[in-house]
Amino acid sequence: MVEIGEFKEKVKRSLEQDYNMEFLGKNFDIVVGLLSESKAERIYSWISEVVNQNIQPILVGSKKPYKEWAINQLLVFRYPFNVKNTEYRILFVKVKNSVYVEFHLGDHKYYDKVRKDLSLKKSSY
């Protein structure tokens, strides 16, 4: 199993930025604790691909405010994975031409909430 502090440090190191990114999500620590080393390595590899601009972001045209930014200033990257037959998602949020600001990790219900906040989802079921 993966240690939470080590997981966060590896993610931060791969970004090479001074800005302190937020790690968010319902049960974030519990989900990280469920990760096998191989699943964590795949996540680190995916982050590396995002940082090296090898993965296309989700773009949103909305000018709606999200915290201190307009949503159209943000790039969102999505990574789905399963642990013990439960689906989880990572939403990695970056300010265009700037820093990574949020790393969301949660189950589908949490993921839907964040997508709605980021105007990636128009309504609930």
Q: 43, 79 in Cβ contact below 8 A?
A: yes
| Strand 65-66 to 69-70 pairing | antiparallel
Q: Interior CA angle at 84 toward 81 and 87, to 5°? A: 35
Query: Whose CA is closest to 71, among 117, 25, 109, 102?
Result: 117
Query: How buried is 35 (Cβ within 10 angstroms: 0-12 exposed, 13-18 middle, 19+ buried)?
Result: buried
Give percent above pLDDT 70 in the chain. Answer: 97
The whole-model pTM stands at 0.91
What's the rounded Cα separation, in Å, for the pair 60 and 58? 7
In this predicted model, what pLDDT tens digit does every residue of 9-61 receive, in sequence order?
999 999 989 899 999 998 999 999 999 999 999 999 999 999 999 999 998 88
